[in-house]
Amino acid sequence: MPLFHTEQQAILADTVRPFLAEEAPIRHMRALRDADDRIGFSPQLWRSFGELGLNGILMDESEGGLGLGHVEAGIVLEEIGRNLTPSPFLATAVGAVTALKSGSVSQRETWLPRILNGDAVGTLAVDETVRHRPERITLQADRIGSRFRLVGEKRFVTYGHVADVLIVAARTAGSEDEELGVTLFLVEREAANLTAEADRLTDANLAARLKFDGVELSADAVIGEIDHGFGALSKTLSALCAGVSAEMVGVASGALSMTVGYLNERKQFDRLIGSFQALQHRAAHLYAEMEVARAAVLKAQQLLDSNDQTAEQAVMVAKAMTCMASALAVQEGVQMHGGIGMTDEYDVGFYMKRQRVLAESFGGADYHANRLARLAGY
Amino acid sequence: MSDHETFRQETRAWLETNCPPEMRQPIRSEDELFWGGRRASYISAAQRIWLDRMAEKGWIAPDWPKEYGGAGLSPEETNILQTEMGRLGCRPPLSSFGLATLGPTLLKYGTEEQKREHLPKMLRGEILWCQGYSEPGAGSDLASLATRAEDKGDHFLVNGQKIWTSGADKADWIFCLVRTDTSSKHNGISFLLFDMETPGVSTKLIKLISGYSPFCETFFDNVKVPKKNLVGELNKGWDVAKYLLSHERESISGEGLETGQLSLGEMAKRTIGTEPGGRLDDPVLRARIALFEVRAQAFRAMSERFVDELKHERGHPAQASIMKYFGTELNKQRHELIMDARGMDALEWESERSRGGADARAWLRTKANSIEGGTSEVQLNIIAKRILQLPGA
């Protein structure tokens, strides 16, 4: 498969781009923030996603979905990134839907239709400490007969305070750094003894800290097999990492085009500042970094879609490379704008804040480079 | 079975039968490659057989038209052939700078006579080409070149000097930029081909920091060049030159790809733990290598995308500058890390143990990557102006 978008994929991009640019441009995010909205996204926009069929992008056609893949999900996410659109698309249509692929028929029949029409939000609850360490799961799920009782905490759960369903990685056996003994549970937001506290993050989005204070679940809540949830968790994380990478490409290209626009309009010393070689070279360097990151992301998406055994490695490369390149894009964006880039009124700072949050999500460049090194055997 | 799958299977079978086992061994040094030329000799019978068979098949330049010695393969078929050669570890039958750069240029700009004369010989490695571009006063500002070619009726009379002519001491022919009009900078340049044995051509080796002398100064003293050796129109040689440069960029950018070499990660794996308290037993170095590997693997995806876009005639023409810039900077970084990782061993310059200072000399050689074929700064200028459309100074 050639490493560029097919004609159908280009058509999808041409559909999604104006939709988000019109329905949810940066001022949409700014308005939610300024109104101190406590949901974190527009439920109406989420239903529009459903009407367009976007929420079913990764669902099979037999389940009402579009039967498409991560390349297509990435096209949507790049536009979400470019417009800084607050949306549960990544958490739900990519994260929850991928996790549910390992779920039972009844779990799928319960949740997929509601996700599809933009009624339900689902999200993965995996992080417990200050850094993303999915290989260390300590939230305890004790067996009581055929039931489970969950005790522990999760943090950095995107929209965890309003999600209808949480996918929770818990420990049913083994020690805290063992893969065996991790089980994935579907937990409804309304469950007793579950409390959520939403934190506003740097980028104005909301993420929740969840407290499981003896949340009781039946065996029906288990996704896949008890103790063997790590595989499904890894697949979900790979899908999410590819998705976050695509969103960061969107964030970075939004910042870059805003910056190039500014270089072409701002005058100092009686000339456009974009004519200064010092700035041209930095912009060109940044563009080259971004093109390489973009290629790495597309490669990872294609490999995920073809179930290639090297997909997970390609995802690590994509996430790490995109973290580095997009960090440069947003930092240069602010610097090249000069003083106005420091103001809240101007949008370029939003890109910088969003990039920070996305880079931390599901592990940054250091985390993934380290995994890559381990995988290579050094 | 699709046509492509049939082609893949036939190609694989043909390569398995026809590529001699010696030609499937990893390449340890450039001396093991066949560079061609009148004075060239094969290092083994297998090398010769391999070249003959591939040339016979038209697979030295598989995508060239059949009438000039190619096989007329489609982009997809060419890709399949390259993939299958990689899978079997087949060495390139011919390593030729002319093939990668002058070949496509002649296909686009050459006369029928020029194509028939030069392309088949290029494919057989009979003629080794060198490039007469840079001059002492014309480096990054190449178009300021001053080597003159005067119109003498049936021939041009060439006088002047070139520099950084790779392998000019061994080359049989040169493709050369000359000034045919002094009244216009860019519209006074022509593109000539001539035999290095023509009276008046002389070369002098330049010793580099690596201790090697891959480049020469090349002098022209009343060199007579037949008119039929002009490529493209008179005074329109700059277009030809730029077209060739974009192909040169592509071939140099391949430097960053670690093709046929151990990846840094693999090197690290083999060294870590084998020397307790030694070289790679250092978490900071390990981290730098890991971050480098992210970039190297991402660049591999970029190259794949670049080639795919090129084959399908998509993508921005200035993408080659991104490849050249990123690829060469990456390769320099790779060799810095190799020097760091190999520590004191890498510093030996003459010992047999160090294969005559191979690491150090290779490290020094890579410093030219971001200078030759247009410096990194020139590539950034091209990206800024042609892709980002930033204003001129």
Partners of A3 on chain B (C-beta within 8 Å) are 301, 304-305, 308-309
- Distance from the Cα of B259 to chain A's closest Cα (Å) equals 17
pLDDT of A153 over the 90 cut: yes
Domain boundaries defined on chain A: 7-120, 124-228, 231-376
**Mean predicted confidence (pLDDT) in A132-151:** 96
pLDDT of B269 over the 80 cut: no
Query: Which chain B residue has the Cα nearest residue A296?
Result: B298
Tell me, what's the pLDDT at A25? 97
**Mean predicted confidence (pLDDT) in A87-113:** 98
**Mean predicted confidence (pLDDT) in B223-236:** 97
Residues 303-332 of B with CB under 8 A from A: 304-306, 308-309, 311-312, 314-315, 319, 322, 325-326
Tell me, what's the pLDDT at B252? 65
Residues A174-192 as b or e (16 or more Cβ within 10 Å = b): eeeeebebbbbbbbebeee
Residues A76-89 as b or e (16 or more Cβ within 10 Å = b): bbbbbbbbbbbbbb
**Mean predicted confidence (pLDDT) in B363-378:** 93
Tell me, what's the pLDDT at B276? 57
Active-site pick, B248, B250, B258, B329: B248
Tell me, what's the pLDDT at A269? 95
CB contact under 8 A, B301 and A275: no
Tell me, what's the pLDDT at B259? 58
Tell me, what's the pLDDT at B240? 96
Got the DSSP string for B29-71?
A: SGGGS----TT---SSHHHHHHHHHHHHHT-SSTTS-GGGT--
Partners of A296 on chain B (C-beta within 8 Å) are 297-298, 301-302
Question: How high does pLDDT run on average in chain A?
Answer: 97
Strands B155-166 and A271-272 come out as unpaired
Identity of the residue numbered A149: R
* Residue B253 to residue B319: CA distance in whole angstroms: 11
Query: Which chain B residue has the Cα nearest residue A325?
Result: B295
Tell me, what's the pLDDT at B344? 87
Partners of A293 on chain B (C-beta within 8 Å) are 298
Q: What is the pLDDT of residues B20-29, one digit of tens each?
A: 999 998 877 7
3-state helix, strand, coil in chain B (%, to 5): 50, 15, 35
The position carrying tokens 């659109």 is A85
Q: Which domains does chain B have, with CATH numbers?
A: 3-95 (1.10.540.10), 129-236 (2.40.110.10), 258-387 (1.20.140.10)
**Architecture of domain A124-228 in CATH?**
Beta Barrel (2.40)
Tell me, what's the pLDDT at A284? 98
Tell me, what's the pLDDT at A35? 96
More confident residue, B262 or B299: B299
Is-catalytic flag, B248?
A: yes
* CA-closest candidate to residue A213, choices A140, A157, A132, A130: A140
DSSP three-state, residue B191? strand
* Residue A26 to residue A45: CA distance in whole angstroms: 14
Tell me, what's the pLDDT at B33? 86
3-state helix, strand, coil in chain A (%, to 5): 55, 15, 30
| φ and ψ at residue B80, rounded to 5 degrees | -60, -45
CB contact under 8 A, A260 and B380: no
Tell me, what's the pLDDT at B384? 97
Tell me how far the alpha carbon of residue B234 is from its chain's centroid: 27
What's the distance, Cα to Cα, between the start and end of chain A in Å?
31
What ipTM was estimated for this complex?
A: 0.95
Tell me, what's the pLDDT at B314? 86
Tell me, what's the pLDDT at B280? 64
Tell me, what's the pLDDT at B254? 61
**Mean predicted confidence (pLDDT) in A10-33:** 97
pLDDT of B267 over the 80 cut: no
Partners of A299 on chain B (C-beta within 8 Å) are 301, 304-305
* Residue B317 to residue B265: CA distance in whole angstroms: 33
Tell me, what's the pLDDT at B76? 82
**Mean predicted confidence (pLDDT) in B159-178:** 95
Q: What is the pLDDT of residues B172-186, one digit of tens each?
A: 999 999 999 999 999
Tell me, what's the pLDDT at B175? 97
Assign domain A231-376 to its CATH superfamily. Butyryl-CoA Dehydrogenase, subunit A, domain 3 (1.20.140.10)
**Mean predicted confidence (pLDDT) in B128-141:** 93
The CA distances from residue A238 to A59, A88, A313, B100, B313, in Å, are 17, 17, 9, 39, 32
Could you tell me if B269 lies within 8 Å of chain A, comparing CB atoms? yes
Tell me, what's the pLDDT at A87? 98
The pLDDT-based confidence of B273 (bands split at 50, 70, 90) is low
* CA dihedral (A337, A343, A346, A352) positive or negative: positive
How is domain A7-120 classified at the CATH fold level? Answer: Butyryl-Coa Dehydrogenase, subunit A; domain 1 (1.10.540)
Q: What is the pLDDT of residues B80-116, one digit of tens each?
A: 898 889 888 899 999 888 888 999 999 999 999 999 9
DSSP state of B231: E
Could you tell me if B387 lies within 8 Å of chain A, comparing CB atoms? yes
Tell me, what's the pLDDT at B79? 82
More confident residue, B97 or A366: A366
